[in-house]
Amino acid sequence: MAEGSRATRRETLYALAMSVFGCGLAVGNIGCTAALSEVFAEPNESSRKLVAYLSRSGNTRVIAGQLKRTFSADIFEIRTATPWPEDYEEMVAWASRMRESATPPRLAESVSEIKEYDVVFLGSPIWGTALPAPVRTFLATHDLSGKTLVPFFTYGCCGAGSAPETIAKLAPRAKILEPFSLKCDQERDTLNSVKDWLRSAEAQL
């Protein structure tokens, strides 16, 4: 991935602000969506909003924080009951096992009063071109019937993959708005760059 094509955290915030507050100057793959404007246009301004998100390396968390501030929303971090491995390679292997597993991981906590919310922003990175298993657990264990569901994704290279379809399948009675997807830094690229740097330093010895 070319350095210049990556969205930095600052760009992420800028891009989100543009998608929320206006059109035309948007960066990356973000444009104006009639979909999000529906949330602004809600007649009932007292509708309660929740931002539920999963994030390992922080990209999705930045967007979740901006949504929380913009909409005065409550925020909920999707965490697994047993934390995933710290080490990147072990974590990738764990995510892959979870993707194949018939029993998705349990969550550390649930949203106690999910029925109180009218709008749920659901944020997730893309893992293995799919929706991460813990986010599937979230959808399987929270009834989003009748709610407006606004998905947002961050990914490293290849877009949202099968995640939108999975959300549609697991939240069949929610009103799902057009997802927001943003290309962000990927830990794999950072690790590879450091590897190259170390290799070249070693070659000079």
Ligand X SMILES: Cc1cc2nc3c(=O)[nH]c(=O)nc-3n(C[C@H](O)[C@H](O)[C@H](O)COP(=O)(O)O)c2cc1C
By DSSP bridging, strand 49-53 and strand 74-77 are parallel
CB of 64 to ligand X, least distance (A): 9
Q: Alpha helices, DSSP H only, in 23-112?
A: 34-40, 59-71, 88-100
158, 201, 203, 205: which one contacts ligand X (CB under 6 A)? 158
Site for ligand X in 113-152 (CB under 6 A): 125-129
| Residue 66: CB minimum distance to ligand X, A | 13
The nearest distance, CB 99 to ligand X, in angstroms, is 9
Q: Which of 19, 59, 80, 181 binds ligand X (CB under 6 A)?
A: 59
Q: How far apart are the first and last CA of the chain?
A: 29
CB proximity list for 198: less than 8 A, separation 6 or greater: none
Site for ligand X in 5-44 (CB under 6 A): none
Whether 118 contacts 150, CB under 8 Å: no
Distance CA(167)–CA(135), nearest Å, equals 9
Q: Are strands 119-125 and 49-53 parallel, antiparallel or unpaired?
A: parallel
Longest alpha-carbon distance in the chain: 68
| Interaction mask 37-56, ligand X, x per CB under 6 A | ------------------xx
Selected from 9, 38, 47, 57, the binder of ligand X by CB under 6 A is 57
Phi-psi region at 179: left, alpha or beta (left = phi > 0; alpha = psi -120 to 50): beta
Among 23, 31, 40, 58, binds ligand X (CB under 6 A): 58
> According to CB under 6 A, which residues from 64 to 103 bind ligand X?
91-92, 95
Q: How far is the CB of 79 from ligand X (least distance, A)?
A: 12
Number of residues that bind ligand X (CB under 6 A): 22
- Six-digit token pair at 44? 């009932």
Residue 193: CB minimum distance to ligand X, A: 14
Residues that bind ligand X (CB under 6 A): 55-61, 91-92, 95, 125-129, 154-158, 184, 186
